[in-house]
Amino acid sequence: MNNTFDIIVIGGGHAGIEASVAAASMGKQGTKPLTVALVSMDTHSIGRLSCNPAVGGSAKGHLVKELDALGGVMGMIADRSGLQFKMLNRSKGPAIWSPRSQNDKDLYPQYAQELVLSTPNLALIQGSVVEIVVSKDCVTGVKLADGSELRCQAVVLCGGTFLNGVMHTGLCKTVGGRFGEQAATGISDLLTSYGLEKGRLKTGTPPRVALESIDLSKTEIAEGDEPPLPFSHRTPSVQNRIVCYSTYTSTRTHEILREGFEQSPMFTGRIQGSGPRYCPSIEDKIHRFAGRDSHHLVLEPEGLNTNSVYVNGYSTSLPEDVQLRGLRTIPGLENVELLRAGYAVEYDFFFPFQLRFSLETKAISGLFFAGQINGTSGYEEAATQGFIAGVNAVRKVRGEEEFTLKRSEAYIGVLIDDLVNKSTEEPYRIFTSAAEYRLLLRQDNADRRLMRHGHTLGLIDSATYERLQEREELIRQTLDFARVTRFRPAEINEYLTEMQETPISEFASVEQLTKRATLALKPLLDKAHWSAHIGQQDMTASQTQTLDAVVEQTEIEIKYSGYIERQMKEISIFAANEEKRIPEALDYSVIKSLSTEARQKLTRIRPHSLGQASRIQGVSAADISVLTLYLR
């Protein structure tokens, strides 16, 4: 086995997959190719969906679309293994529409492993890393449990829930990072000796039950969208192959689960780590929302060739017998059989204020962290961090400038900015409400925002990028057409009356009419003979799909033009503050007018700009004014 690589990625979860594939794909370009290794304790577990076999969801779907636009692979794997596809929040504005897929728990890791194995320039090594070797504050390699040492210039550590991981079900405690898999011990303590600060977090998973033991007649069917939409620009189409089922807990369910609270590791203090606020366990829901009589559950089949059903909304670490008794009070689950009890896993993480925006640690040159080791929750958050870390590991080795995304560019930028500036005391989850510019950061325009970066990085091919540019030109032409094409009252008033809209008394453009709440752009374009104008009467299915996307993008830009213009102005102010740099070695202790908290936070995080400083919790507007004057 070759024992010298340029970059080593540790961990084969979603962060590790993206980091290794991105680094290897970038590394094969240029005059001096880079070698990349992915080290996993069990290569057969790469890509495993350890919790819910689903991808996307509110804001998480935005991350997957952004990752795909940059050249990442999660969206493509999700499309291939997808069982049901939905666009969430369709009843609300386009800023919060979010794609989600239910996936086959066996097919997803199968396709992920095939991808990793077929990626040129990427070596796959089965082994357990027991030490990250550091010399003079720089990474030089890693040591494996078998005594071998691998040398490298950069390491991306994607530890997931495995760093000193402990699993809890009731009073039963097992060492491990995931069901049936061992924990990674020693690494986090070693990193602490290098001066990095760690904490403890926990997450959980619901029980799995047997499909044949469910009375589906007592549940409600939850179907996917028709037609279903793929995540990836590389996927022509996807199909729904299953339905899910909805049901609810009851007061009797809550009574039974409360009986087990005295054996709950969460309430007895056996779990010290903080859990995810926005994805609480069922016992946490019952405790925090004592006035609620019921909670919504979704029964989600885990695959085409398994009888395992995931009870979404019933995450728990209560004793197994209590879990089962509670389940059997739920409509449709009266005779349910348990395949695997739910459990909580507690693990080490490192406070992310210790990172640069490239996800390189400030303390150790060449060491990058990605995923749950940074205090995040979720496959999607992990995958995007893995991608950013992998890209920057390549750029670090090559001596190039780091690649980062601003809050105004992407949800990925929001995620990393929040982690570095606010750090975290509980598992971080991305939400649309976290983005100030969410009307600009929609899932439908991720390629328009980010594909140029993917092309520059060499991860998006020229043909794909040229198709995007052609679509941009079509959007520009359609906007121009909507502005200059006007209807006479006699041409459009009958249609306006039919749509219960006020008729016009003078000429009105397509753009003006589209701004009316109940009018859609497509019918107005059809009446104005738009397709003939752009020469697309005889279209292929692919061209029709492209034009549908063009119309959707144009309509959103017209209807929300006022809000978009306002956000663009806000971004220009944001950008100005980001350009006001702060010297890295600035001694904040000499700025006497700063508050004590601001001085401590600024010293700890060491922001690179006034804009970043203004987003640090505990740094007030008055502190920013003082800092601005001092820098001047």
pLDDT digits (tens, 9 = 90+) for 380-395: 999 999 999 999 999 9
* Contact indicator for 36, 27 with CB cutoff of 8 Å: yes
Report helix, strand and coil shares of the chain as percent, to nearest 5.
Answer: 40, 20, 40
Which tokens belong to 408? 């105004």
Taking the C-alpha atoms of residue 103 and residue 115, their distance in angstroms, rounded to an integer, is 17
Please report the pLDDT score of residue 186 as a whole number.
85
Confidence of residue 505 (pLDDT cuts 50, 70, 90): very high
Q: What is the rounded average pLDDT of the residues 518-547?
A: 78
pLDDT digits (tens, 9 = 90+) for 239-259: 999 999 999 999 999 999 998
pLDDT digits (tens, 9 = 90+) for 47-68: 999 889 999 999 999 999 999 9
Ranges 144-148, 289-293, 429-433: which has the least confidence:
289-293
pLDDT digits (tens, 9 = 90+) for 82-95: 999 999 999 899 99
List phi, psi (to 5°) of 314: -120, 35
Quick check: 266 pLDDT over 70? no
The three-class DSSP label of residue 184 is strand
Q: Which phi-psi region, left, alpha or beta, contains residue 332 (left: φ > 0; alpha: ψ -120 to 50)?
A: left
* Contact indicator for 99, 446 with CB cutoff of 8 Å: no
Please report the pLDDT score of residue 486 as a whole number.
96
* Contact indicator for 14, 371 with CB cutoff of 8 Å: yes
Please report the pLDDT score of residue 540 as a whole number.
59
- Cα–Cα distances (Å) from 407 to 3, 38, 578, in that order, read 39, 30, 11
Beta strands in 107-182 (DSSP E): 122-126, 129-135, 138-144, 149-151, 154-157, 166-169, 172-175
Please report the pLDDT score of residue 314 as a whole number.
93
> What count of other Cβ atoms lies within 10 Å of the Cβ of residue 593?
13
Confidence of residue 542 (pLDDT cuts 50, 70, 90): low
List the one residue out of 194, 176, 193, 196 whose CA is nearest residue 185.
176
Beta strands in 184-331 (DSSP E): 198-205, 208-210, 220-222, 244-248, 296-301, 308-312
The DSSP code for 273 is S
Ranges 139-148, 264-273, 519-528: which has the least confidence:
264-273
Q: What is the rounded average pLDDT of the residues 271-296?
A: 78
Q: What is the rounded average pLDDT of the residues 263-288?
A: 69
Please report the pLDDT score of residue 273 as a whole number.
59
Quick check: 268 pLDDT over 60? no
How, if at all, do strands 7-10 and 36-40 pair? parallel
pLDDT digits (tens, 9 = 90+) for 421-435: 988 888 899 999 889
Helical pair 379-397 and 60-70, crossing angle rounded to 10 deg: 30
Residues pairing with 609 in the sheet? 581
The three-class DSSP label of residue 191 is helix
Quick check: 276 pLDDT over 80? no
Domains of the chain and CATH, by start: 7-85+93-204+347-456 (3.50.50.60), 208-343 (2.40.30.260), 462-562 (1.10.10.1800), 579-631 (1.10.150.570)
Quick check: 370 pLDDT over 70? yes
Q: What is the rounded average pLDDT of the residues 94-116?
A: 97
Please report the pLDDT score of residue 575 as a whole number.
84
Confidence of residue 286 (pLDDT cuts 50, 70, 90): confident
List the one residue out of 516, 487, 277 whose CA is nearest residue 376.
277
Prediction pTM value: 0.92
List the one residue out of 237, 298, 230, 232 whose CA is nearest residue 86.
230
Higher pLDDT among residues 166 and 403, named by residue? 403
**Percent of the chain's residues with pLDDT above 70:** 96
pLDDT digits (tens, 9 = 90+) for 404-418: 999 999 999 999 999
Which tokens belong to 554? 């144009």
Quick check: 170 pLDDT over 90? no
List the one residue out of 82, 106, 66 whose CA is nearest residue 225.
82
Taking the C-alpha atoms of residue 570 and residue 154, their distance in angstroms, rounded to an integer, is 37
* DSSP for 369-401, written as a single string: E-SGGGTB-SHHHHHHHHHHHHHHHHHHHTTPP
> What count of other Cβ atoms lies within 10 Å of the Cβ of residue 106?
18
Which tokens belong to 433? 């409400």
